């Protein structure tokens, strides 16, 4: 009998938290077309700031892969993900100008600051590759699962917001998340009890921070 993979087991154990992060009211409103443009604009500006902080985090995971990984293809997966953030930042700028969202004077809100603080703490040298790659998977997987829900059959997402959903809901991004999950699974299989615990706790923090992040865009928030 095959032992259940670590991530598979976590997703069962923390189903509620995972669903909370991937089926948030913001995403439900994007899918059913009731989203307020002010919510979307808040998310857009805050996520632009988040992605700028996310780049150095991904770079730190790349460095850990180079130092600690037993498989040279890990680095290539991470590098591809990092490279696509270049295009992503350009997309945020275009999208923001389309909606008249001035990116130059947005201030990060508390939820965003807290999330970026977690990223920064994980960039430290004493945080191992296993924890870091697991977190990278978790962060990307939440967006993939969330936006993929908005591109499914039956979604009533407004046409002008479809491109946003496609960005994280497309097949290629799904494949990237699968690759990250495969790497994380491989590493977690060989991890110590301490590393496993730290990875699980940090994954749960990511889920909470994602919920808080979506909450910023609540009407009257
Ligand atoms: C808050 N989580 C947040 N923003 C993102 N862009 C992603 C995950 C995926 O990159």
| Residues 42-71: tens digit of each pLDDT | 999 999 999 999 999 999 999 999 999 999
> 170-193 in b/e burial notation, b at 16+ Cβ within 10 A?
eeebbebbebbbbbbbbbbeebee
Q: Give nearest CA residue, ligand 1 atom 2.
A: 139
This model of the complex carries an ipTM of 0.98
Ligand 1 site residues, Cβ closer than 6 angstroms: 47, 50-51, 54, 139-140, 142-143, 210, 213
Active-site residue (options: 140, 145, 200, 210): 210
Q: Quick check: is 210 catalytic? A: yes
Which numbered atom of ligand 1 lies nearest the CA of 112? 1
| Residues 103-146: tens digit of each pLDDT | 998 999 999 999 999 999 999 999 999 999 999 999 999 999 99
The Å distance, Cα 50 to ligand 1 centre, comes to 7
The Å distance, Cα 97 to ligand 1 centre, comes to 20
Which numbered atom of ligand 1 lies nearest the CA of 213? 1
Q: What's this model's pTM, rounded to 2 decimal places?
A: 0.97
Whether domain 6-215 has CATH 1.20.910.10: the reply is: yes
The preferred substitution site among 56, 86, 139, 169 for testing ligand 1, maximizing ligand atoms within 8 Å of CB, is 139
The Å distance, Cα 1 to ligand 1 centre, comes to 36
DSSP annotation string for the chain: -PPPPHHHHHHHHTHHHHHHHHS-HHHHHHHHT---HHHHHHHHHHHHHHHHHHHHHHHHHHHHHHHH-S-THHHHHHHHHHHHHHHHHHHHHHHHHHTT--GGGPPPPHHHHHHHHHHHHHTSTTS-HHHHHHHHHHHHHHHHHHHHHHHSTT----GGGHHHHHHHHSHHHHHHHHHHHHHHHHHHHT--HHHHHHHHHHHHHHHHHHHHHHHTTSTT-
CB count within 10 Å of CB 211 equals 17
The Å distance, Cα 2 to ligand 1 centre, comes to 33
| Residues 143-173: tens digit of each pLDDT | 999 999 999 999 999 999 999 999 999 999 9
């Amino acid at each position: 009998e095959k032992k259940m993979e670590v991530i598979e087991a976590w997703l069962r154990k923390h189903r509620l938290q995972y669903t909370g992060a991937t089926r948030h009211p913001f995403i439900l409103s994007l899918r059913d077309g009731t989203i307020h443009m002010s919510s979307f604009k808040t998310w857009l500006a805050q996520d632009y700031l988040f992605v700028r902080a996310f780049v150095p985090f991904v770079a730190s995971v790349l460095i850990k892969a180079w130092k600690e990984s037993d498989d040279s293809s890990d680095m290539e997966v991470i590098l591809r993900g990092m490279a696509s953030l270049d295009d992503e930042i350009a997309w945020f700028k275009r999208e923001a100008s389309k909606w008249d969202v001035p990116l130059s004077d947005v201030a990060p809100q508390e939820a965003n600051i807290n999330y970026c603080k977690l990223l920064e703490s994980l960039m430290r040298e004493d945080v191992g590759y296993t924890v870091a790659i697991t977190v990278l998977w978790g962060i990307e997987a939440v967006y993939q699962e969330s936006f993929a829900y908005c591109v499914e059959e039956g979604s009533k997402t407004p046409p002008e917001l479809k491109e946003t959903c496609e960005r994280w809901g497309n097949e290629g991004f799904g494949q990237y998340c699968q690759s990250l999950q495969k790497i994380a699974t491989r590493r977690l299989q060989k991890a110590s009890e301490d590393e496993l615990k730290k990875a699980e706790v940090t994954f749960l923090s990511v889920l909470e921070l994602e919920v808080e992040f979506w909450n910023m865009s609540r009407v009257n928030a």
